[in-house]
Amino acid sequence: MIYAGSALICFLMVVLLVPISRRFAIQFGFVDRPSARKIHRAPVPLMGGAALYAGIVITLYIFQGATPLSLTISLGGLMLIIIGLADDAAKAGGKEFPVWPRVLVYLAAAVIPLLFGIRIEGLSSLNGMIIFPYWLAIVSSIVWVFALINMINFIDGVDGLASGVSTLSSLTLFVAALLKHQYPTALLAVILVGACAAFLIYNFYPARIFMGDAGAAFLGYALAVTAVDGAFKSATLVTVAVPLLALGVPILDTAVVMLRRLISGKGLHRADKLHTHHVLMRWGLTQIQTVSFIYLVAALFSLLSILLLLALS
């Protein structure tokens, strides 16, 4: 019952907060303007990320209090929201925000879970637990969180894509946490489900608001922490595939894009139109068709991850 209640409260909170963020963004010109790389043809308000952050963190504290998990989400998330809003503000003013401040803040946020004991500790096998050396546990955890922060940002290029995929990924991590009796992690995951589903109401085509870099980075961070605290905890060599499949769409999209950029000699951080959603739309699919197809792929990945976990439990 607590899971349904927390998801519903977060859903309602985000539903109420998004219009407030939208009005504020319009009033102060905090909008994403059309460009050659953008798909939308009219300015769209940003600041959806602030509503997501507030809804998720408030709900998490209501139901879980000041636990290491809730502190990790709120503190690391706040850092990402602040730098993300600065990035979004630069875009609204027609400027490019420098890369290195974002990289440094993303790395700093990736360290926050470690301060509260949330990290990838090792892998279990038939012969017992294989504990990673301390340096490997630290490095693997930071790399995972840093990567997911960027991956969700990368796929946030079509109305409803990032929020919809994040809804499916959160739901998968929720089921996985329940199956492994990891109840605090399950609570965070189901709160993310409620928040993302609520935001999708305003973000699906034609989008009335964007989550911006702030929201995408925060969602990536929250999903990464959920996976580390849940599916990766005491994972076997086989079940490590569960979080990888649950987040298969952003991971696969990023891997393909990075490979294409390397082959073409472009900078890895340079924005382009090499992402899966761009390719599908070049093939003639509409935004709704593109998003629906990627939702289907994400749902298949999620189903595979749950079936794998059930088969091995």
What are the distances in angstroms from CA 93 to CA 66, 79, 86? 37, 22, 11
pLDDT at residue 237, as a whole number:
58
Number of structural domains in the chain:
1
pLDDT at residue 129, as a whole number:
66
pLDDT at residue 130, as a whole number:
75
Cβ contacts of 257 within 8 Å, gap of 6 or more: 154, 272, 274, 275
pLDDT at residue 254, as a whole number:
86
pLDDT at residue 222, as a whole number:
98
pLDDT at residue 235, as a whole number:
64
pLDDT at residue 234, as a whole number:
60
Is the entire prediction scored with pTM above 0.75? yes
Q: What is the dihedral of CA 75, 8, 169, 34, to 10 degrees?
A: -80
Q: What is the DSSP string of the chain?
A: -HHHHHHHHHHHHHHHHHHHHHHHHHHTT-EE---SS-S-SS-EE--HHHHHHHHHHHHHHHHH-S-HHHHHHHHHHHHHHHHHHHHHHHHHTT-PPPHHHHHHHHHHHHHHHHHTT-S--EEEETTEEEEPPHHHHHHHHHHHHHHHHHHHHHHTTSTTHHHHHHHHHHHHHHHHHHHTT-HHHHHHHHHHHHHHHHHHHHHSSSPS---HHHHHHHHHHHHHHHHHHTTTTT-BTTTTHHHHHHTHHHHHHHHHHHHHHHHHT--TT---S-SHHHHHHHTT--HHHHHHHHHHHHHHHHHHHHHHHHHH-
- Identify the residue whose tokens are 């139109």: 273
**What distance in Å separates the CA atoms of residue 225 and residue 177, rounded to the nearest whole number?**
13
Task: Please give the chain's pLDDT, 313 residues, in tens.
Answer: 799 999 999 999 999 999 999 999 999 889 988 765 566 567 899 999 999 999 999 999 999 999 999 999 999 999 999 999 999 999 888 888 899 999 999 999 999 999 999 998 877 655 556 778 889 999 999 999 999 999 999 898 899 999 999 999 999 999 999 988 899 999 999 999 999 999 999 999 999 999 999 999 999 999 999 999 987 766 665 667 778 888 889 999 988 888 877 776 665 555 656 678 878 888 989 999 999 999 999 999 999 999 988 887 6
Task: Note down the domain range covering 95.
Answer: 2-312
